[in-house]
Amino acid sequence: MKRVPVFNDLKRIGSDRVTAIGIGTWGIGGYESPDYSRDKESIEALKHGLELGINLIDTAEFYGAGHSEELVREAIREFERDDIFIISKVWPTHFGYESAKKAARASAKRLGTYIDLYLLHWPSDSFEKIRETLHALEELVDEGLIRYIGVSNFDLELLKRSQEVMKKYEIVANEVKYSLRDRWPETSGLLDYMKHEKIALIAYTPLEKGSLARNECLAKIGERYGKTAAQVALNYLVWEDNVIAIPKAGSKAHLEENFGAMGWRLSKEDREKARRCV
């Protein structure tokens, strides 16, 4: 079995260490329905990311109606499983004690393995459903199907309420939209709170669907480091100790560029300049 190279730019999720940049799979294998047209290319891209040394893959049952999870299974087949950290998520329509357990088992079957971090994908209108789901996930930790519990798209108030109802385990991550252009985790107090609580903030859409990669101001900052605009935008996020970014892994070239956002840090002055670029 292949080993995932150990890279030195690592963040903590629970007691595990993961690369500061992960591999996002939204759109890989389809969006709200399966798309099999680019399966081979997608699998090769995911494998390439692992070969580079990116050890974190983010997926969900909603992505491609589960097909993205199937592609992750194929991509990791040749690698040591313990070298890889896999995130998946339960969609709100499957919230509830029994349905969440069923959804997690279905995701694990598609992935062909246990799930390192299982997230509630979006808030529910019913907090009771959130409570039931979190308690179901705690039992799944005891069963060994999942290792850690987290949430996604939870604001500060809902994160705190969710923490309060946990019986045995802690919420170790909250995956939210966060980018240089959309800095609401900073302005809302969510980022500071999560830093204090040692909760990982996993940032999705960190490049704003590619628009930040085309930002000339960020590109000019990057010239001083031999980096691209996209790498500056990603580095801005992972500069914070508890922030992990998961840009979409669209191709091998994108993965290599994402990988190059790690292993260095913007100066405080350039980080402040980057804020003014958008």
What is the C-alpha to C-alpha distance for residues 18 and 20, in angstroms, rounded to an integer?
A: 6
User: Which residues neighbour 236 within 8 Å (Cβ) at sequence distance 6 or greater?
Assistant: 180, 266, 271, 274, 275
Contact of 120 with 130, CB cutoff 8 Å: yes
What is the C-alpha to C-alpha distance for residues 219 and 212, in angstroms, rounded to an integer?
A: 9
Residue 277: strand pairing partners? none
DSSP for residue 40:
H
Q: Containing H/E element for 164?
A: helix 156-165
**To 5 degrees, how large is the angle CA 27–CA 28–CA 33?**
65
Q: Containing H/E element for 118?
A: strand 115-120
CA 204 from centroid of its chain's CA atoms:
7
Verify whether residue 63 is a known catalytic residue.
yes
Contact of 214 with 205, CB cutoff 8 Å: no
What is the C-alpha to C-alpha distance for residues 134 and 151, in angstroms, rounded to an integer?
A: 9
Q: Which residue has the tokens 């091998």?
A: 252
Q: Name the catalytic one among 31, 36, 63, 148.
A: 63
> Which residues are tagged catalytic?
63
